[in-house]
Amino acid sequence: MTLHPSVAAVRVPVRAVLSDLDPGDAVAVACSGGADSLALAAATVFEGHKLGLRVIGVTVDHSLQPGSAEQADRVVTQLATIGVDETVTARIQVDTSSGSGPEAAAREGRYAVLEEVADRFSVRRVLLGHTLDDQAETVLLGLTRGSGGRSLQGMRPGFGVFARPLLGVRRADTVTACQVEGLEAWDDPHNDDPGFTRVRVRRRVLPVLEDELGPGIAEALARTADQLRDDTALLDDLASAALDAARRADGLDVDSLAAQPPALRHRAIHAAALAAGVPPVELTRRHVLEVDRLLVAWRGQQWVDLPGHRRALRRDGLLVFEGA
């Protein structure tokens, strides 16, 4: 029997991302029960077991909607039916006290659970079910927010123990793969809630772009992310070297940083501010440009207030970050 193209579309990249692991290694797959993660789980079991890997299915109950505990139980049952070697489920309370929205806070909680699972079970790789459609939405959101190249590079294919093998796979293929394999995917009500910006992008904005500009918009946005990721990695490496060269015992050498091109200087300032304790979600380009003026347009201004009760100032030829 010929393998259905959608099933193959999911299995092939999973096989590639597992190919460097050794028999007996453990791999975890995060599964919400939606089509993307369910198709990923099935492909991971199929390809992982061929390689002699131990597959652990993980589901996280974020407690954000009625019936979430029952849904988590349902996913555990599905994962066991698919053939994972072990299942893990965790219930968390999403903490938005830091100012993060519910989506961001849920993501932070979910990754914390997955990192704990990876550590506890000596997992070599944790697979996430983000697709090409997710990548396109991320790039488009970054573009409309004016977030710069770092945001436009979208989601990384891999970082640390995590891997996203389906970033080149369309959501339609994961849905079809589930149907072909007889897997009943869960439709998360949040995915249809227009109160979420990402849902509006998915349901309204991208379809309009496809209608008005022609097919292939999602693929083009994903290609843009791939191209910018290489460029950003190079600039980040150069900025890191510039920052290292400017380090002194009590701060950063102003002349050394000021001599750098703006693209590197701004990245170095951004990295230095984060290292000084400025919250990443609150640090904006406006803050970076104001700090930059201390380097290249200094007229005796005292300091620049930054989020997280921090400030940047120029003192004795050094750029200094300290508590406000």
The tokens for 308 are: 């997280």
What distance in Å separates the CA atoms of residue 92 and residue 270, rounded to the nearest whole number? 32
Dihedral pair phi/psi, residue 59, rounded to 5°:
-125, 140
Give, rounded to a whole angstrom, the gap between the first and last alpha carbons of the chain.
Answer: 68
Helical (H) or strand (E) element with 54 = strand 54-61
- CB-CB contact of 122 with 115 (8 Å): no
Distances (CA, A) of 71 to 57, 67, 77, 181, 232: 15, 6, 10, 20, 39
What distance in Å separates the CA atoms of residue 152 and residue 229, rounded to the nearest whole number? 8
Q: Classify residue 192 as exposed, middle or buried by CB count within 10 Å of its CB (0-12, 13-18, 19+).
A: exposed
**Is 32 known to sit in a ligand binding site?**
yes
**Is 33 known to sit in a ligand binding site?**
yes
**Is 34 known to sit in a ligand binding site?**
yes
- CB-CB contact of 73 with 65 (8 Å): no
What distance in Å separates the CA atoms of residue 58 and residue 241, rounded to the nearest whole number? 39
| Bind-site residues | 32-37
| Bind-site residues for ATP | 32-37
